Structures are given as structure tokens and as C-alpha cells.
């Protein structure tokens, strides 16, 4: 298994320079290029987490995280999409076995986009549900074959029930809304459903998924598949930040070596301020990688408290702290890149835009995560719904 892991990581390293050359094209297109998605499929990487019973590699989240980090060092948008498509195989296991077998009937991976914002309307009907609504931030929607939605079923005399729905792409509408400052190459458009029927077998309790306990998850002996939803999601997204931080550090080194004052003619590499900023940059990149490795170690460990709200709150804070560290590091870099560093051809301005946008993501925002942790430390109930 170790050699298999290294083989996939080796393929990621081979693809990363190619993905870096496509970053500007993907920004212009506002989604991954078709050839990038085909490269991901052809590499076998998208089956990293897929259970072996469905033809996948069934490797750990540490393998997925390392692949994501490598891609994100080259292009954060590509890393984000690769992570979501790899992670889709894990999220598919929230659903009943019939849905899982349908998804993996002809291939060991799943091109799936999804979003956490709730739908407008969910109603129970014979054999399943009908759903309606438009939700944003559906990363990978351009090439997705499946879309997941979340909605709350409200029935008289019964507590509201948050549910996840799995919908074929053909039953949805892509709304072209992805006009943004950062992460432009992800194609994270809005997705709409209009009174779409979803059979019971393509539905799962999102409340049970949050604690890693849906019937679909318990079908699998590998404990990786019964982890709580949000801590798992962080193993997808945090490596994007960490990879971007390393990519920015390397780009800043090259920029400092090449930069020369337009008026003074003085080389930046000879300036003490540039030297110290460069040192801080690499220290932060190293620290982010160490903290990510520790997060993955804690996530992978078999801990009885892993599904507890307190534990999930702490894991979210750890992920948000790593994100904030990367944001601070990249914002320090841009103070020393000069005007040319903001040209489209410069990867530094892309890392800057991408990381600052990701840092305010609902999963990664440091203020929200810190508030929740602080409230629990004081014996107060958290108000964050994404725990």
C-alpha cells in the first residue's frame, strides 16, 4: 500500500508543473479546463479514497491531502477541484448502499459538486422527496455528473430534519454566477433544482453525517469512512491553503532573486527587509505543513470522542488557525513584491487573491471558529450550524 501511495503522489508531482502553466487559462475560463479534468481522471488519482469494493485505492486522507497540497502549490484552483473530486467518493458513502452502487457502477470515482447552503423547499412525497431552490458555491459544477444539495424537511409536530440529496446533473440547472476575485478556476457556480424528485435511496440524514453515523457509512469496516463530516471536509480544503503558502514562498524567492529597483537599480536580494520577509515566509510555510500533518494525525487516530461536538469544534478551530496563518503569511509577502508582482502573469497575486478568498469560507473563517470554541470553553452552546 505504501508503494501505491507513493505512485499516486509521484503522478501528482508529474502533473503539477503542467497545471501551473494552465492557471491563467483556467482563470479566464472560470473553471477547470477539460484537459485538466481528463488528466486527473487518467492519473487514477480521483479514486484515492474510493473503497476497494468499488474498484478504488482506499488510501487514507493523508494521501489525498498530500496530492492536494502538491497541486495547490502549482495552482490553488486545481488543487481545490482535485480535492473535491477525490473527496466526493468519501461523501458518497453518506448515502444508502443502492446509491453507492449506482455511483460506482462503471467507474471508481465520482465527479460531484455540492454546497452547504440549504435549499428553499423540501417536501416529503411517496417514495422520496421533492426539492426546490438555488444554492451558491458549487465547486466543480462545470464538469460534475452529480450534484449534492442540503435541505431541511419541516413537518408539523416533528423536529426539523436536515437532509442531504444526491441528484444527477441532468436534473439540475447551472446558473453562471462565478464572477469573483479569487479561486476563479474552480467553476463554483450556483446550482438550481425546480421541484425535482429525489428517491429515498439518494437521500441521507445530514445530522447523522455530521457525526459520521449514516447507515451508508456504517456499511464499511474502514474507520476512515465513519468520521464526522466537517473534520473530514477540512482534510480536503486545508491542504489547498498549505500548498498555496508553499507555492507563494517559492514564487517570492524567485521574485526576490530577480527583482531590481526601476529607479535605484538596487537588487531586492541585497536588502535586509527582503531577506527577513523571505525568512518569515519560509518559516510560515514550514509551520503550516507541520500543523497540517498534526491535524491529519489527530483526524486519523481512533478516538472515541471524535464525533462529540466539543471535539468537532476544536478540529474546526485548528483548521481555521492554519488558514489564518497562511493568509497572514501571504499578506506579508505582498508587501514586498512591488508593482510587477500584481501583473496577471505573476503567480503571487493569484496566491494572494485565492488565499484571502478561501480564508473567509464558512468552513475556514477564523472568527466563526474561534467564537464557537470560546463559547464552549465558557460553557455556552455554540451557535455555528456547521459543526
117 burial class (0-12, 13-18, 19+ CB within 10 angstroms)? Answer: middle
Q: Among 95-99, 177-181, 269-273, which stretch is predicted with the lowest mean pLDDT?
A: 269-273
305-328, pLDDT tens digit by residue?
A: 888 999 999 999 999 999 999 999
- Asked if residues 284 and 245 have their Cβ atoms less than 8 Å apart, the reply is yes
Instruction: Give residue 267's pLDDT.
Output: 81
Q: Is the pLDDT of residue 384 over 90?
A: no
Which helix (H) or strand (E) element contains residue 103? helix 97-103
What's the average model confidence in pLDDT over 60-82? Answer: 98
Topology match between the domains 2-103 and 227-377: no
What's the average model confidence in pLDDT over 215-243? Answer: 97
Q: 1 pLDDT band (50/70/90 cuts)? A: low
- Asked if residues 86 and 240 have their Cβ atoms less than 8 Å apart, the reply is no
Strands ordered across the beta sheet of 128-138: 121-125, 128-138, 189-199, 173-175
39-51, pLDDT tens digit by residue?
A: 999 999 999 999 9
- Asked if residues 292 and 253 have their Cβ atoms less than 8 Å apart, the reply is no
Q: How crowded is residue 80: how many other Cβ atoms within 10 Å of its Cβ? A: 29
- Nearest alpha carbon to residue 135 among 212, 192, 89, 96: 192
Residue-averaged pLDDT of the chain: 95
Instruction: Give residue 262's pLDDT.
Output: 59
Q: Which CATH class is domain 2-103?
A: mainly alpha
CATH code for the part of the protein at 227-377? 1.20.140.10
Q: Is the pLDDT of residue 263 over 70?
A: no
> How large a percentage of the chain has pLDDT more than 70?
98
Grid cell of 79 as nine digits: 488543487
Instruction: Give residue 270's pLDDT.
Output: 83
Q: Among 106-110, 198-202, 254-258, which stretch is predicted with the lowest mean pLDDT?
A: 254-258
90 burial class (0-12, 13-18, 19+ CB within 10 angstroms)? Answer: buried
- In CATH terms, the superfamily for domain 112-205 is Butyryl-CoA Dehydrogenase, subunit A, domain 2 (2.40.110.10)
Q: Is the pLDDT of residue 385 over 90?
A: no
What's the average model confidence in pLDDT over 166-171? Answer: 98
What's the average model confidence in pLDDT over 80-109? Answer: 98
- DSSP E strands in 76-127: the ranges are 112-118, 121-125
Q: How crowded is residue 134: how many other Cβ atoms within 10 Å of its Cβ? A: 16
What's the average model confidence in pLDDT over 22-32? Answer: 97
- Three-state SS for 56? coil
Instruction: Give residue 261's pLDDT.
Output: 65
Q: Is the pLDDT of residue 260 over 90?
A: no
What's the average model confidence in pLDDT over 208-220? Answer: 96
Q: In this predicted model, which residue has the larger pLDDT, 352 or 383?
A: 352
- Asked if residues 80 and 72 have their Cβ atoms less than 8 Å apart, the reply is yes
Q: 304 pLDDT band (50/70/90 cuts)? A: confident
- Nearest alpha carbon to residue 63 among 12, 112, 103: 12
C-alpha 341: how far from chain center: 27
Q: How far apart are CA 130 and CA 121, in angstroms?
A: 8
Q: Is the pLDDT of residue 258 over 90?
A: no
The domains of the chain are located at 2-103, 112-205, 227-377
Grid cell of 130 as nine digits: 421533492
Amino acid at each position: 500500500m505504501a508503494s501505491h501511495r507513493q505512485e499516486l503522489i509521484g503522478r501528482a508531482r508529474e502533473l503539477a508543473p503542467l497545471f501551473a502553466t494552465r492557471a491563467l487559462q483556467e482563470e479566464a475560463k472560470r473553471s477547470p479546463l477539460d484537459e485538466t479534468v481528463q488528466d486527473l481522471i487518467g492519473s487514477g488519482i480521483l479514486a484515492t479514497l474510493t473503497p476497494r469494493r468499488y474498484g478504488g485505492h482506499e488510501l487514507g486522507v493523508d494521501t489525498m491531502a498530500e496530492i492536494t497540497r502538491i497541486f495547490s502549490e502549482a495552482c490553488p484552483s486545481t488543487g481545490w477541484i482535485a480535492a473535491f473530486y477525490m473527496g466526493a467518493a468519501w461523501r458518497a458513502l453518506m448515502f444508502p448502499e443502492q446509491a453507492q452502487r449506482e455511483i460506482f457502477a462503471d467507474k471508481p470515482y465520482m465527479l460531484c459538486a455540492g454546497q452547504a447552503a440549504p435549499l428553499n423547499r423540501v417536501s416529503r412525497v411517496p417514495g422520496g422527496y421533492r426539492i426546490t431552490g438555488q444554492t451558491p458555491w458549487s465547486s466543480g459544477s462545470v464538469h460534475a455528473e452529480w450534484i449534492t444539495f442540503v435541505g431541511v424537511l419541516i413537518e408539523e409536530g416533528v423536529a426539523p430534519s436536515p437532509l442531504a440529496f444526491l441528484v444527477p446533473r441532468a436534473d439540475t440547472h447551472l446558473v453562471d454566477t462565478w464572477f469573483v476575485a479569487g479561486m476563479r478556476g474552480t467553476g463554483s457556480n450556483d446550482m438550481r433544482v425546480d421541484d425535482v424528485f429525489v428517491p429515498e435511496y439518494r437521500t441521507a440524514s445530514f445530522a447523522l453525517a455530521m457525526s459520521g453515523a449514516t447507515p451508508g457509512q456504517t456499511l464499511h469496516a474502514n474507520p476512515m469512512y465513519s468520521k464526522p463530516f466537517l473534520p473530514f471536509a477540512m482534510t480536503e480544503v486545508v491542504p489547498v491553503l498549505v500548498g498555496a503558502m508553499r507555492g507563494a514562498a517559492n514564487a517570492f524567492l524567485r521574485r526576490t532573486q530577480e527583482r531590481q529597483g526601476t529607479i535605484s537599480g538596487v537588487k531586492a536580494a541585497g536588502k535586509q527587509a527582503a531577506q527577513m520577509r523571505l525568512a518569515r515566509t519560509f518559516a510560515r510555510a514550514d509551520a503550516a505543513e507541520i500543523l497540517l500533518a498534526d491535524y491529519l494525525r489527530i483526524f486519523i487516530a481512533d478516538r472515541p470522542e471524535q464525533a462529540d461536538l466539543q471535539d468537532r469544534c476544536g478540529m474546526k478551530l485548528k483548521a481555521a488557525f492554519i488558514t489564518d496563518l497562511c493568509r497572514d503569511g501571504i499578506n506579508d509577502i505582498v508587501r514586498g513584491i512591488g508593482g510587477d508582482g500584481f501583473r496577471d502573469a505573476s503567480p503571487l497575486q493569484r496566491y494572494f487573491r485565492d488565499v484571502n478568498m478561501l480564508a473567509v469560507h464558512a468552513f475556514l473563517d477564523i472568527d466563526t471558529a474561534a467564537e464557537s470554541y470560546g463559547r464552549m470553553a465558557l460553557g455556552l452552546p455554540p451557535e455555528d450550524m456547521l459543526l
